[in-house]
Amino acid sequence: MTKGALHNFRVIDLSSYIAGPFCARLFGDYGADVVKVEHPGAGDMARSFGPFFKDDPHPEKSLLFLYLNYNKRGITLNLNNSSGRKLFKELIKSADVLIEDFDPGYLEERGLGYGSLAAVNPELVMTSITPFGQTGPYKNYPGSHIVYEALGGVMYTSGASDRAPLAHGHPQSLYIGGVSASHSTSAALFARNQIGCGQHVDVSLTEVVAAHHTGPTTRYAYTGEIERRAPHNEAGSAKGGAHFEGVIPVKDGFVGATFQRGAGRRGTLADYLRLVGRPDLLEPEYEESLPAGRLTDEQDQLLLSVLKDWGKYEYFTTAASESWVAAVVQNSGDLANNPHLHERGFYTEMKHPIVGKIQIPGEIFRLPESSFKLRYPTPLLGEHNIEMYCGDLGYSREDLVRLHQLGAV
């Protein structure tokens, strides 16, 4: 195995919370030298957000921060300080990528906008992740996960139509925003080989959700029809959905069931009853392949009743082994112990100076020649100040102390 695929890139991660740090970590996972830059004192806001190790709200024990910031070195830097801004420009000189998520205009006000940084390093790719992007009438509006899912069109079509529209109960929009930022940043690095310079990448989290939810916008642009979340279904199985594709209660949890067998093929109700071991319920008309439409209430009830005594993994592995598309609602504990993930090498042990040894979710995809590796555990606040400022930038230890006392680091 060689070094990671991205090992010749240096990434400055000036972002916080989820989207930016996840984007930067992906670069670190595949070999880039990622330097996490935090404000002295509190650091990344994720340090004050839970969950926390052993429910101890301590800035080095945020599990959210631990998860999103391994494979990075960590330094502190105060952009509101003149020496801090000078140090920042020195860091930028050797950087390939800057990832930041300040409000539009914040860095310009400090003389650190894209134009100023490109003057220092024309090859810099600067990626700005904000709620609404750098332009447009909403650009100064604040954002939040539920705001993106509302404005991106996801909520209106999710949940039941007799209830409030529903967002994901976990900040999915921010994670997928990080993914979108990572591939656009990587493409800008790729373009640099051809055009010889870096550029500014302007990511809008609201547009990330809208770019995700293309079904209803395309439908409107083809037919004028305005899709809505489905009515509540008392039977519960389809959860108001259009097909037998809801979330179905079973003996020890919930499963996802479909009539789909492989890409585009559908099984029949008869096949299904044979699958779940209830051929006694067969009626001749069940041999017909089911139409794409909704099940009748009776069919719905029938399927609910035949599944209720199954265990969730028993159902999932039985159906999936027979090539039916199926799912199992897994919780965090199920995932932590999942044999498939363990056999795939998804988990890696991390040794952290405060938390100790902990199993962390790691490799997302495998590049056999240049793969994921845990290179650095999540840094403590300012852990690599001496290494970066004295080693990389060449300041003396005495000057580092001065910089600290001036409030720059």
Q: Which is nearer to other proteins, 83 or 318 (CB)?
A: 318
170 binds other proteins (CB under 8 A): yes
Site for other proteins in 298-327 (CB under 8 A): 316-317, 320-321, 323-327
Of the candidate spans 275-283, 296-304, 336-344, 390-398, the one that interacts with other proteins by CB under 8 A turns out to be 336-344
Binding mask 49-88 for other proteins (x = CB under 8 A): -xxxxxx-------xx-xxx--------------------
Q: Which is nearer to other proteins, 135 or 305 (CB)?
A: 135
353 binds other proteins (CB under 8 A): no
Q: Which is nearer to other proteins, 154 or 403 (CB)?
A: 154
| Whole-number Å distance between alpha carbons of 131 and 110 | 21
The helix or strand, by DSSP H or E, that contains position 256, with its residue range, turns out to be strand 253-261
Among the listed residues 235, 276, 281, 329, the single contact to other proteins using CB under 8 A: 329
- Whether the bond into 51 is cis, omega within 30 of 0: yes
Q: Which is nearer to other proteins, 148 or 272 (CB)?
A: 148
Q: Which is nearer to other proteins, 305 or 359 (CB)?
A: 359
Site for other proteins in 174-233 (CB under 8 A): 175-176, 179-184, 186-191, 193-195, 197-208, 210-228, 230-231
Q: Residue 56 corresponds to which tokens in the numbers above?
A: 């101890």
For the CB of residue 140, give the shortest distance to other proteins in the complex, in Å: 8
DSSP track, 40-71: TTT-SGGGGSS-BGGG---TT-BHHHHHHS-S
For the CB of residue 379, give the shortest distance to other proteins in the complex, in Å: 17
354 binds other proteins (CB under 8 A): no
| Whole-number Å distance between alpha carbons of 130 and 181 | 11
Q: Which is nearer to other proteins, 162 or 285 (CB)?
A: 162
DSSP track, 111-160: T-SHHHHHHH-TT-EEEEEESS-SSSTTTTS---HHHHHHHTTTGGGSS-
In angstroms, how far is the first alpha carbon of the chain from the final one?
37
Could you give the angle at which helices 214-223 and 205-212 cross, rounded to 10 degrees? 60
Closest to 329 in 3D by CA, of 249, 259, 275, 263: 249
User: Residue 59 contacts by C-beta under 8 Å, 6 or more apart in sequence?
Assistant: 42, 43, 47, 48, 65, 381
For the CB of residue 34, give the shortest distance to other proteins in the complex, in Å: 14
DSSP track, 160-211: -TTS-----SS-HHHHHHHHHHHHHHHHHHHHHHHHSS--EEEEEHHHHHHH
Beta strands 200-204 and 33-38, pairing class: unpaired
Q: How many of the chain's residues bind other proteins (CB under 8 A)?
A: 162
Site for other proteins in 94-123 (CB under 8 A): 114
Could you give the angle at which helices 397-405 and 82-93 cross, rounded to 10 degrees? 130
Site for other proteins in 230-289 (CB under 8 A): 230-231, 236, 239, 241-242, 245, 247, 249, 254-256, 258, 260-264
Site for other proteins in 137-156 (CB under 8 A): 137-138, 141-156
For the CB of residue 400, give the shortest distance to other proteins in the complex, in Å: 33
Q: Which is nearer to other proteins, 77 or 257 (CB)?
A: 257
For the CB of residue 221, give the shortest distance to other proteins in the complex, in Å: 5
Binding mask 18-37 for other proteins (x = CB under 8 A): --------x---x-------
* b (16+ CB within 10 A) / e for 65-99: bbbbbbbbbbbbbbbebebbbebbebbbeebbbbb
For the CB of residue 270, give the shortest distance to other proteins in the complex, in Å: 20
Q: Which is nearer to other proteins, 116 or 172 (CB)?
A: 172
For the CB of residue 76, give the shortest distance to other proteins in the complex, in Å: 23
By the 10 Å C-beta count (0-12 exposed, 13-18 middle, 19+ buried), 43 is classed as buried
For the CB of residue 182, give the shortest distance to other proteins in the complex, in Å: 5
Phi, psi of 408 (to 5 degrees): -85, -35
